Structure 1
Amino acid sequence: MAANEAQAASNTAKISLLTLTMVVVGSMVGAGVFSLPRRFAQETGVAGALVAWTIAGAGMLMMAFVFQRLAVRKPALDAGVYAYAKAGFGEYTGFFSAAGYWASACVGNVTYWVLITSTLGQWIPVLGAGDTITAIVCSSAGLWLFFLLVSRGTREATSINRIVTVAKIIPILVFVLLALFVFDPAAFQANFGGADYAGSLFEQVRGTVLVTVFVFLGVEGASVYSRHARRREDVGRATVLGFLSVLAIFASVTIVSYGVMPMDEIAELQQPSMAGVLEHAVGPWGSIFVSIGLIISVLGAYLAWTLMAAEVLFVAAKDRDMPRFLSRQTARDVPVNALLLSTLLSQVVLILTYFSENAFDFALDMTAVMTLIPFLLAALYALKLRLTRETYAGSSSSTLRGDLAVAVLASIYAAFLVYAAGAGLLLISFLFYAPATILFAMTRREQQRRVFSSRELVLFAAVLLLAAAAAVGLVTGWISV
C-alpha cells in the first residue's frame, strides 16, 4: 500500500507533455517579440524575413537538440551551459562561457528597462525612447528596487508568472489576428523585396538573423526539466512542439506587420514597435493594449532573469569556477553577492546606453553577442563527443549519424551567428571579458594555483589585444554603438 501511494505521488508530481511544452514556450516568449516589427523592417523585407526565420528556426532547433543530448550524455554537468565549455576546452574557456552567459542575462535585463521607459515615453515625452537621462534615472531606480525586493527573499513567483504568461501571450495573439483583419495585400507586395536601404538578400538576412538570437534565448533551458518529465520521450517532443509554437508566433508577428504599413514607416516606429503597428491598424487603443501587456510581461520576466543572472554566478562559485564570495547566501537562500554583482553590471550597461545611437538595439545586440560564445562552445563540445565517441559505446549507427548531423549543423549555425554579429560587436564583448578575468584570477588564487597555465596565458594575451582593439575602435569612431 505504501509503495503504491509513493508511486502515485511520484506520478502526480511529474510534468505532463502539455505542461512541459508550456514551460518551453514560457521560457522563450519575452520582451523581444514586442520589438520584432521595427528590428526586421530596419534590415529586410518579407522575402528576407522568411529566409531569416527559416535559418533561425532550423539553427535554433539544432541548438535545442544539442542541449537535450548533452543533458542525457553528460548528466553530471549540471552547473549550466558553461560546464560544457569547461569540460570540452579547459577551465579558462569555461570561465569565458560562464561570464558571457551571465553578462548576456545582465545586459538582457537592461533591454527590459529601456523597453519599459520607451513604452511610457509615448505618453511621457521626457522619457524619450528610453535613452534620456530621466529614463536612465528611472530605470536605475527600478533596477535597485528589484535588487532590494529579490534580496529580501522573493524567490517563488508562481502567481506573478501566471499573470505574466497571460499578459504576454494574449496581446501577441490579438495583434496577429487584428493585423490579419486589416491586412493590405498591396502593402505586403510592396514590402516583399525590401526597401532601397535594405541591400542584397544576403545582407538583409545577415543583418536580421542576430535579432533572432535574442528572442530565442531560453531554448537552452528546455532540457533542464527532463528529470521532471512523466515520460522521458516527452522531453524531445516538448522541445519540438514548444519551439515550433514560439517560432510560429515570432514569424507571424513579423510577417503580418508588412501587410499593415510600409516597411520604411515600421522602421521609424518607437519601440515597442508592435504597439505602433497595432495603433496604425485599429487606432490609439491598440497601442495602449499592447503597451500594458508588455509592461506586465517585462516586469515579470525581469524578476525571473534577475534570479537567473545571479544563479549563474552562484552555481559557478559553488563549483569553484568563480570566487567563493559569490557563493554566499542569506538566511532566505538568496545569493546576495551574486545578485549585487549582477545588478552592478546591469547598472553600468544601462549608463552606457545613454551614449549609444539607439539604446534598445545596442542592448539587444550585445545580449545576443554575449550568448554566442557559450552557444558555439556547447555545439562544438557535442561535436567533440561524437567525433571521439565518448559516451557513444554501443550506440546504433542511426544514433551516431543523427547526433553527428545535429552537432555539425548547430556548430555551423553558431559560427554563422558569430560572423553575422560583425567585428565591431564582437570586439566590444572583449571589453567585458578582459576585466572579468579578474574573477578568474581571484578563483585561482583562492585555490592556491597558478593564475594561468602557459596555454591560458596565450589566450589571455589574445583577449587583451582584442579588448585594446575595441577601445581604439571606439575612440577613433571605427566602432560605433
Structure 2
Amino acid sequence: MQKKGIGLMTLIALVVSSSIGAGIFALSSDVAIVAAPGAVMIAWLIVGIGILALALSFSNLVIKRPDLEGIFAYAQAGFGDFAGFLSGWGYWLSAWLGNVAFATVLVSSLGYFYPIFKTGHNIPSIILASVIAWSLTYFVTRGVESAAVLNAIVAICKLIPLFVFIILAIILFKVNMFTKTFWGNVGTNFSAIDVLTQVKGCIMIMMWVFVGIEGATMMSSRAKNKKDASTATIIGVVGLLVIYSVVSLLPYGYLSRTELAGLPRPALVYLFQHMIGPIGGAIISIGLVISILGAWLSWTMLPAETVMLMSKDQLLPKQLAKVNRFNAPHIALLTTQILIQLFLFTLLFTNKAYEFAYSLCTAAIVITYSFVAAYQIKFSWINRRTTKNAWFQVAVGVIALVFEIVGIILAGAQFLLLAMIAYIPGLYFYVQAQKQKNPAYQMQTKEKVISILIIILGLIGLLLLILGKIKLR
C-alpha cells in the first residue's frame, strides 16, 4: 500500500509558495530605491551563492539525518536543547511576523479595487485581515496535508501572472534604458565604494524574499519520501533565484531608476498598469492576492508545526504538542493566531507595520539559518572520513554561515536587538518545559550567560526603540 503523505511536486510548491508572497511584488521599487542595475546584479550573485549554500545544507541534512524533524532539530542535535530552543523560537517568531507582513500588503492590494482598504491602516482593513487570518487557521486545523495540497494549486495560480509580467517586460525591454545609469544615478563611472553601499542596501530586501525556502524541510516528517524534501528544496530555490532576479532587473529596461523608486507599493501592480493600462494593474493585483493567500497558508502551517515539534522534543511546554482528530496542532495554531491578531491591531497606530514586520522576521530567521549552517559544518566535519563529499559539505556550511552573519550585519544589526525583545518571554517557556521533563532542572552556566545576554540586548533594543534611536524601515 502506498504511503500517505506529501509528494515531491507538493513539496516543491511548498518551497515556492512559502517564499513567494508579498516581497516579490514590491521588489522592483524596493531595490530601485537603494541600487542601480549593476549593483543589483552583484547583490544577486552574492545572495544567490549564500542562499544556494543554505539550500544545499538543508538538502544534505534532510538525507543524512532523516531522524530529525523540524528545522530547530539541527541546532538541538548539534549544540544541545538550549540551542534547539533558540533556533526554534527564532523560526516561530519569523513565521508569524511574516504573516503580519502578508496581511498589510494583502489589504493594501485589495485597495486597488476597493479604496476603503487602500491605506491598510484602518478598522475595515484590520477586520478583513483578521477574518482571513482566522479562516486560514480554521482551514489548517482541518488537516495539514490537505492544506499542503491546496497550497500546491495556489502556487501554480500565483506564478501565472508573474510569468505574464516577465514575458511582457522582456518584449518592452530597452537596452539603452537599462545601461544608461548602470552603476548609479549620476554619470556612468564605476565607484567601488558607491556600488558597495548599493549592494549593502539590497541585502535585507533580498534575504526577506527567500524566507520560506525551508518549507519542504519543515514538512519532511509528513513527506512520502525524505529524499523528496531534499530534491524539492534545491529545485525550488533555483527556480526562485531565476524568478526574483528577472523580476527585479527587467523593470530597469522599461522605466528609469527614479521612476521605479517612486512607484506606490506594491510596485509591480502599478508597473504593469503603466505597461498595458488598468487591466495590467488588475491582473497583478489578483495575482498578488492569490500569492499572499498562498504564502499566508504556508506560514499558517509552518509556525504551528514548529511549536508542535518543539513541544514533542520538550523544548516548549508539552500542552502545545496536542493535535486534534485531523492530526493538526490546534493548540499551537490557536496560540500563534492570537499573537498575530494582537499584532494586527498595531496597524491602527503605524504606517510602518510591513517594514517592521519583514525586517524583524528576517532578523529572527537568520538566527535559525545560522544554526542550520553551523550544524552542517559540524556534522560534515565529524563524518569527514566516512562521507565521500564531506569537504564539499563543510565548505557549503561555511559559505552559508558567513552569508547569514555578514548579511544581517550589513542589513542592520539593530533588528537583532529587536528580535531579542521577543526572545525574553520565550526563555520562561523553555524553563517551564525543562521542569516538566525534570522537576529538579536548573539552568547550566552557559544557558544562564546566554539568557542574561539576551535580556540585556532585548532591553537595550527596547530602550533604543522608545528613544527613537532605532528607525523602522
**TM-score normalised to the size of structure 1?**
0.88
Q: Deviations over 1:358-413 (max 9, x none)?
A: 332222222211110000111111212234x2x344334xx132122111111111
Once the two structures are TM-superposed, the CA of residue 98 in structure 1 deviates from its matched residue by 0.5
Tell me the residue number matched to 2:346: 352
Within 1, Cα distance between the matches of 2:246 and 2:236?
15
Given residue 358 of structure 1, which amino acid in structure 2 is its aligned partner?
A: K
The alpha-carbon deviation at position 23 of structure 1 amounts to 5.8
Please state whether the residue corresponding to 2:173 is helix, strand or coil: coil
2:455 alignment counterpart: 464
Matches within 5 A, 1:314-325: 314-325=308-319
Q: 2:49 aligns with which of 50, 58, 82?
A: 58
Report the CA distance between 1:33 and its aligned residue: 1.7
The residue identity in structure 1 corresponding to 2:54 is: M
Question: Could you list the per-position Cα deviations for residues 119-159 of structure 1 after superposition, in whole angstroms to 9, with x for gaps in the alignment?
Answer: 02234333234233442333223223333444455751366
Query: What residue number does 2:259 align with?
Result: 265
Deviation of 1:95 after TM superposition, in Å, equals 0.7
For 2:177, the equivalent position in structure 1 comes to: 187
* Unaligned runs of at least 5 residues, structure 2: none
Q: State the shift of 1:472 in Å.
A: 0.9
Structure 1 residues 278-357: aligned runs within 5 Å: 278-357=272-351
Q: Is 1:395 the counterpart of 2:355 in the alignment?
A: no
Mapping for residues 61-140 of structure 1, pairs under 5 Å: 61-78=52-69, 80-140=70-130
CA distance in structure 2 between the aligned counterparts of 1:354 and 1:55, rounded to whole angstroms: 38
- Which stretch of the first structure deviates more once superposed, 144-153 or 240-249? 144-153
Give the whole-Å Cα distance in 2 for the aligned partners of 1:134 and 1:191.
Answer: 42
1:3 is aligned to: none
- Partner AA of 1:432 in structure 2: A
Q: Which moved more, 1:454-463 or 1:267-276?
A: 267-276
Secondary structure at the aligned position of 2:253 is classed as coil
Residue 431 of structure 1 corresponds to 421
SS at match of 1:65: helix
- Tell me: CA distance 1:449–1:126, structure 2 relative to 1, closer, same or farther (3 Å): farther
Map Cα deviations across residues 205-227 of structure 1 (whole Å, 9 max, x no partner). 11211222222223224456599
- Kept in 2, the 8 Å contact 1:356–1:362? The answer is no
Answer whether contact 1:66 1:378 (CA < 8 A) is retained: yes
Question: Which amino acid is the alignment partner of residue 68 of structure 2?
Answer: L
Q: Is the CA contact 1:353–1:363 (under 8 Å) kept in the aligned structure 2?
A: no
Matched, 1:201 2:195: yes
CA contact (8 A) 2:110 2:117 kept: yes
Aligned equivalent of 1:407, options 397, 403, 414? 397
- More divergent stretch after superposition (470-479 vs 90-99): 90-99
How big is the shift at 1:242?
3.4
Cα separation, 2, equivalents of 1:148 and 1:221: 20
- Secondary structure at the counterpart of residue 35 of structure 2: coil
Give the letter aligned to residue 34 of structure 2: E
Unaligned runs of 5+ in 1: 1-5
CA distance in 1, matches of 2:273, 2:306: 39
The CA deviation at 1:286 is 0.4
Residues 91 and 306 of structure 1: is their aligned pair in 2 closer, same or farther, counting only changes over 3 Å? same
Question: Structure 1 residues 351 and 175 mapped into 2: Cα distance closer, same or farther (>3 Å)?
Answer: same
* 1:45-100 deviation line (CA, Å, top 9, x unaligned): 1011101111111111100111122223322222x111111222222221111011
Is 1:168 the counterpart of 2:158? The answer is yes
- Cα pair 1:229 1:235 within 8 Å, conserved: no
Whether contact under 8 Å (1:35, 1:273) holds in the other structure is yes
280-289 or 145-154: bigger deviation: 145-154
Q: 1:287-318 CA deviation, whole Å, 9 max, x = no partner?
A: 10011122123223322321211111011111
- Structure 1 residues 34, 103: CA separation in 2 closer, same or farther (over 3 Å shift)? same
Q: CA deviation at 1:245?
A: 2.1
- Displacement after TM superposition at 1:237 (Å): 5.9
Classify 1:81/1:393 alpha carbon distance in 2 versus 1 (closer, same or farther; 3 Å). Answer: same
Query: In the alignment, which residue of structure 1 is the partner of 2:433?
Result: 443
Q: Is the 8 A contact 1:130 1:359 kept in 2?
A: no
C-alpha distance in structure 1 between counterparts of 2:325 and 2:220, whole Å = 27
Q: In the alignment, is the contact (CA less than 8 A) between 1:317 and 1:326 conserved in 2?
A: yes
Q: Deviations over 1:247-300 (max 9, x none)?
A: 111111000111222222322323221111111111111010011122123223
Residue 368 in structure 1 maps to residue 398 in structure 2: no
In the alignment, is the contact (CA less than 8 A) between 2:15 and 2:214 conserved in 1?
no
Q: Is the 8 A contact 2:16 2:155 kept in 1?
A: no
1:244 lines up with 2:234 in the alignment: no
Query: Distance in 1 between the 2:104 and 2:272 partners?
Result: 20
**Does the Cα contact within 8 Å between 2:269 and 2:285 map onto a contact in 1?**
yes
* Counterpart Cα distance in 2 of 1:227 and 1:342: 21
Change (3 A) 1:339 1:235: closer
Q: Give me the TM-score of the superposition, normalised by structure 2.
A: 0.89
Relative distance call for 1:174 and 1:462 in structure 2 (3 A) is same
Change (3 A) 1:405 1:159: closer
The answer on whether the counterparts of 1:107 and 1:363 sit within 8 Å (CA) in structure 2 is yes
**1:286 aligns to what SS in structure 2?**
helix
Distance in 1 (CA, whole Å) between partners of 2:379 and 2:149 is 41
**2:471 corresponds to:** 480
2:460, 2:148 → 1: CA distance? 46
**What's the counterpart of residue 373 of structure 2?**
379
Structure-2 separation of matches of 1:410 and 1:82: 16
Match of 1:434, SS?
Answer: helix
The match for 2:38 among 17, 32, 47 is 47
> Matched residue of 1:156: which SS?
helix
Q: What is the number of equivalent residue pairs in this alignment? A: 465
Q: Mean Cα displacement is larger for which, 265-274 or 246-255?
A: 265-274
**Deviation per residue, 1:407-435 (Å, 9 max, x gap):** 11111111112212312211111110112
